[in-house]
Amino acid sequence: MTTMTDPPQESFRPSMLLNDTRYRSYTFQFIALIVLIGAIAYLMSNLFANLEDQGLNISYDFLGEPAGYGIAQNLVEYDSQDSHMRAALIGILNTLLVAFLACVTATILGVIAGVLRLSNNWLVAKLMSAYVEAFRNVPVLIWILVINTIVISMPGPRAYRGDTPEVEMFMGIIAYTNRGIYIPAPTWGPGSLLVVLTFFASIAAIIWYRRYAVKQLYDHGRDLPTFLPSLAIFFIPTILMYFIMGRPIGVDVPALQGFNFQGGTQIGRPLIALWLALSIYTGAFIAENVRAGIQAVSQGQTEAAASLGLRPNRVMNLVVLPQALRVIIPPLISQFLNITKNSSLAIAVGYEDITATLGGITLNQTGRAIECILLLMLFYLTISLLISAVMNVYNNSVSLKER
């Protein structure tokens, strides 16, 4: 009787690093890593040698020095005597603000345009096609300048003066001028925090209820209403808390005083131009991603859902879009990254983002080009990786789960 035994293991030899396929790939990767490290070390040593020859050194002490310049658009308090670090922080907040607003607006525009491109209405489909082709094939910088020109052509504040003004405020509370748009601002009193927390709790409750309604439909075939209950959950708890706490939140309405509007909140012209341009431009690309994702879903899925008696909007929300998201989300991540990086074009319209502050005025005043550019690269790298990480988590949650 014979027994089967494993063949004896061959002892490791240095020649196996090239001849054995089990180790060859690791060998080449290690060699490539060594070459890359050597190239980076050579470039860095060359940089430091050149700086030493010119009597320069890399230092970030300039971040503590007074900036000496003003910033029109700021989310936190800032004065020209604040440090360059403070000015850079203002630029970072401005960049994050326009990137967030543009991502939200571009997503809404893209989803609407992508769905309407597949409309059975010939006119609507052609209009959306024209929008997509017009904005995708013109550089975003051109659209920034075009929209900025449109905003500049708006009436000035003095057009609102007099007993018979040339222009009246929209709904009596919003003024649109060539300096920007003035909107009401909230005023916070004692107890306003509870009202705000109630508002966010209502949003969380709406999300939970809509998920519960979908689960009931899938598990038991019960088609629960979602629109009216969502409206009730959104408004009623917050309004009740608002009156219970004694109306702690007021409204500061902008009013024309002298040569400009005072009060409220001003959305500056550069922010409007950059925000709208990035939103409309990127929305055209997102529309194509949405259209491709919807068309990737089998027509049989739609027909099967319709045969069960589901209305067209329910078919889109419950059957088509959940499956289309698996195709839409990966390219959508790239579009969000493009919005964040394209926001660096803000300097074309005078919007003080991180590129205009740290990479522009601070760089010119201090002469610390290498330090400023390195910090800029670090910021955009960090924010891009964070966006990718968050969107990849969401992408994994909607991806197809295999057994």
Neighbours of 156 (CB within 10 A): 14
Q: Report the distance separating Cα 97 and Cα 267, nearest Å.
A: 12
- Whether the pLDDT of residue 360 is over 90: the answer is no
CB 173 within 8 A of CB 185: no
Number of separate domains in the chain: 1
Highest mean pLDDT out of 179-183, 302-306, 321-325, 330-334: 330-334
pLDDT band at 201 (very low <50, low <70, confident <90, very high): very high
Q: How many CA within 13 A on the CB side of residue 298?
A: 5
177 within a domain of the structure (yes/no) = no
pLDDT band at 76 (very low <50, low <70, confident <90, very high): confident
- pLDDT one-digit tens code per residue, 29-40: 888 999 999 999
3-state secondary structure 222-258: CCCCCHHHHHHHHHHHHHHHHHHCCCCEEEECCEEEC
Q: Which two tokens stand for residue 343?
A: 């926001």
239 within a domain of the structure (yes/no) = yes
Counting residues of the chain whose pLDDT is more than 90, the rounded percentage is 21
285 within a domain of the structure (yes/no) = no
What is the pTM assigned to this prediction?
A: 0.80
190 within a domain of the structure (yes/no) = yes
Strand order of the β-sheet with 175-177 is 175-177, 180-183, 265-268
Name residue 267's beta-bridge partners.
181
Q: Tell which phi-psi region holds residue 247, choosing left (phi > 0), alpha (psi between -120 and 50) or beta.
A: left
Residues sharing a CB contact under 8 Å with residue 15, sequence separation 6 or more, in sequence order: none
Q: Whose structure tokens read 């094939």?
A: 137
226 within a domain of the structure (yes/no) = yes
Question: For the residues 292-301, what does the mean pLDDT come to?
Answer: 84
Q: Measuring CA to CA, which residue among 282, 331, 347, 337 is closest to residue 139? A: 282
φ, ψ at 185 (rounded to 5°): -120, 140
196 within a domain of the structure (yes/no) = yes
241 within a domain of the structure (yes/no) = yes
- pLDDT one-digit tens code per residue, 158-195: 877 766 677 777 777 888 888 888 888 888 888 888 98
210 within a domain of the structure (yes/no) = yes
- The length of the chain is 403
Structural domain harbouring 204:
185-252
Counting residues of the chain whose pLDDT is more than 70, the rounded percentage is 92
Neighbours of 159 (CB within 10 A): 16
DSSP 154: S
- Whether the pLDDT of residue 392 is over 80: the answer is yes
pLDDT at 61: 83
- pLDDT one-digit tens code per residue, 120-169: 888 988 999 999 998 888 898 999 999 889 888 888 878 777 666 777 77
Paired sense of beta strands 185-188 and 180-183, if any: unpaired
